[in-house]
Amino acid sequence: MDSLPVIVGFLEDAKRTQEFDDGAFFVLNMVVEELYTNMVKYNGNGADDILIGVEKEGGNMVIRLVDFDSEPFDYTSQSEVDVSASLHERTPGGLGIHLVKRFMDEVSYQYKDRKTSIRLVKYLNANA
């Protein structure tokens, strides 16, 4: 978690160089934080070896996270969070991944030889 401020600095550079607007930058922060903290939490041994990339491809923002030494965890098939539950039925568990899936237009997951790769696409011409 100590790396998060460094990562935010990297994302701010990406915003500047690739000219992401405030809405795209907000989503970029959220997606990277939620997935990175999840990777560190569940794959603690690989915390130093997580690669984060972001680029503009056509009209899209494409985000990639790669954990080079991890257990399988399919982010795309996690059970849905019940967002209509009452206050006292709510738990914070799963909310981060739920938000990632809501904010992004495409999420794909790959696991091979202990390497987890996640690729996410946000259509920048769509509403946040």
Partner 1 sequence: MLEIIRDGSQAIRLKGRLDATQSEMAFTEFDTLQGECRVWFEELDYISSAGLSVLLHTQQRLSKDGGSLTLCGLNQHVRLVFEYAGFDTIFTIE
Contacts with partner 1 by CB under 8 A lie at: 1, 4-5, 8, 22-23, 26, 29-30, 33-34, 37, 81-88, 90, 92, 95-96, 98-99, 102-103, 128
Question: Could you tell me the smallest distance in angstroms from the CB atom of residue 39 to partner 1?
Answer: 12
CA 29 → CA 56, 71, 74, 92, 109, distances in Å? 15, 24, 21, 19, 19
Eight-state DSSP code of residue 66: E
Task: Please say which residue, 35 or 66, places its beta carbon nearer to partner 1.
Answer: 35
Three-class DSSP category at 86: coil
Task: Return the half-sphere exposure (C-beta side, CA atoms, 13 A cut-off) of residue 84.
Answer: 0
Question: Could you tell me the smallest distance in angstroms from the CB atom of residue 37 to partner 1?
Answer: 5
Task: Please say which residue, 5 or 58, places its beta carbon nearer to partner 1.
Answer: 5
Q: Copy the structure tokens of residue 52.
A: 């984060």
Question: Could you tell me the smallest distance in angstroms from the CB atom of residue 7 to partner 1?
Answer: 10
